[in-house]
Amino acid sequence: MARRLIIECVVFLYTIIVQCFHVIKSLFLPLKKNVRNEIVLITGAGSGLGRLMALRFASLGSTVVCVDINTQANESTANQIKSEDGKAFAFTCDCSSREDIYRVAEDIKASVGDVTILVNNAGIVSGKKFMELSDIMINQTFAVNTMAHFWTVRAFLPSMITKNHGHIVSIASSAGLVGISNLTDYCSSKFAAVGFHESLQLELASLGKHGINTTLICPYIINTGMFDGAKSKFSRLLPILDPIKTVDQMMDCILRNGNVLIIPKILCFLLLLKSFLPQKSFVTMSEFFGASSCMNEFKGRPKKKLIKMNDRFLKSNTACV
Ligand SMILES: NC(=O)c1ccc[n+]([C@@H]2O[C@H](COP(=O)([O-])OP(=O)(O)OC[C@H]3O[C@@H](n4cnc5c(N)ncnc54)[C@H](O)[C@@H]3O)[C@@H](O)[C@H]2O)c1
């Protein structure tokens, strides 16, 4: 028994050292995977990060399946890709509905093929104090930000398992790692997305499905419009992120089969502080770093601004892909 435990410990330490070595090596070598023949499905492809990622994958030769509840914005992304000789398909889908996801998934499998890279990106935010949230809002936030991950993965994972080839990308948030005032529904839904990613990753590893990668992305506030009005208390230390630079980092991580990306890196230090400071200090620390006040002037994006914002991305994207 003791001998077996010693062997397990040695194998464990050896594996950790080899994994650390691989991570350090990957920082210096531009080893990125080829996604030319992949079928990439992106939820929330009609706007913000989803739209930018769709354009990036298309520029790398992937067939992009754009999925969004907003038909016009989604088709605009697919049309932009096609106008640049890329391959894209647009499917309107309400990701808060399991039935709609399963229906659209069947259409996609029949008309495009098996999805090999699934990016769960669609997300919503209410930005209200807990008691001002309606029951419907809370349900909707979980339906889009968490439950949709379950239904899309259940729809597309089986073919990835059969081929032992695929990649599941979960766009969560730094609000899925630390609580923030006025974001109880959003934070909890993103914490759940983080838990989903970690558990799925372990399950795939225990099944020996090492050909299926999982990536979790946790960014701080990004200037896409979704969090309009939210403020950073220390804008030099924790600046509101630029969407294009953020997508650069996200794509780099995905193409390297990275496991977790927290943007900006300084957040890792704050998470470390959170984990070892006494629990009583959590409120003091959150107040100091602005987690209690950053949403005080939150407005969110008025629906009308969506198309205008897409035009801005269309223009800026030409420079970045
Ligand atoms: N913007 C930020 O500050 C920020 C920070 C951290 C994480 N995130 C996360 O990144 C992801 C993308 O954010 P963004 O800033 O690009 O947001 P965005 O609002 O620009 O885009 C979200 C897209 O999701 C779509 N969508 C919303 N509800 C849907 C539904 N029910 N079914 C299908 N599509 C739906 C919208 O139509 C929109 O096109 C989200 O998951 C968000 O939570 C954003």
Count of beta carbons in the 10 Å neighbourhood of residue 288: 12
Closest CA to 217 of 247, 184, 245, 187: 247
**Average pLDDT rounded to a whole number, residues 54-61:** 98
Told to judge if 220 belongs to the known catalytic residues of this protein, a careful annotator would answer no
Provide the number of structural domains found in the chain: 1
Ligand 1 pocket, mutate which of 47, 149, 180, 189 (most atoms under 8 A from CB) = 47
Q: What is the pLDDT of residue 218?
A: 98
Q: Give me the CATH number covering residue 286.
A: 3.40.50.720
CA distance 34 to 21: 23
Is there a domain that residue 287 lies in?
A: yes
Q: Which amino acid is at 167?
A: H
* CA distances for 98 relative to 27, 110, 198, 246, angstroms: 39, 19, 22, 30
Domain that holds residue 299: 32-316
Residue 7 counted as domain residue = no
pLDDT tens-digit series, residues 159-190? 999 999 999 999 999 999 999 999 999 999 99
Within a domain: 172: yes
Q: Residue 250 belongs to what H/E stretch?
A: helix 243-255
Copy the structure tokens of residue 154: 């259940």
Pairing of strands 166-171, 212-219: parallel
Q: Which residue has its alpha carbon closest to ligand 1 atom 42?
A: 123
Q: 226 CA to middle of ligand 1, Å?
A: 7
User: Residue 205 domain-assigned?
Assistant: yes
Q: Is residue 132 part of a domain?
A: yes
- Nearest-atom index, ligand 1, CA of 95: 32
Q: How many whole angstroms from 295 Cα to the centroid of ligand 1? A: 17
193 in a domain, yes or no? yes
Say whether pLDDT at 304 is over 90.
no
Please choose, from the candidates 62, 69, 100, 106, the residue with its C-alpha nearest in 3D space to the C-alpha of residue 84: 62
pLDDT-derived band at 14 (thresholds 50, 70, 90) equals confident
The answer as to whether 142 is a domain residue is yes
In a domain, 21, yes or no: no
Which is the closest atom of ligand 1 to the Cα of 97?
31
Which residue is it, tokens 């030409």?
A: 318
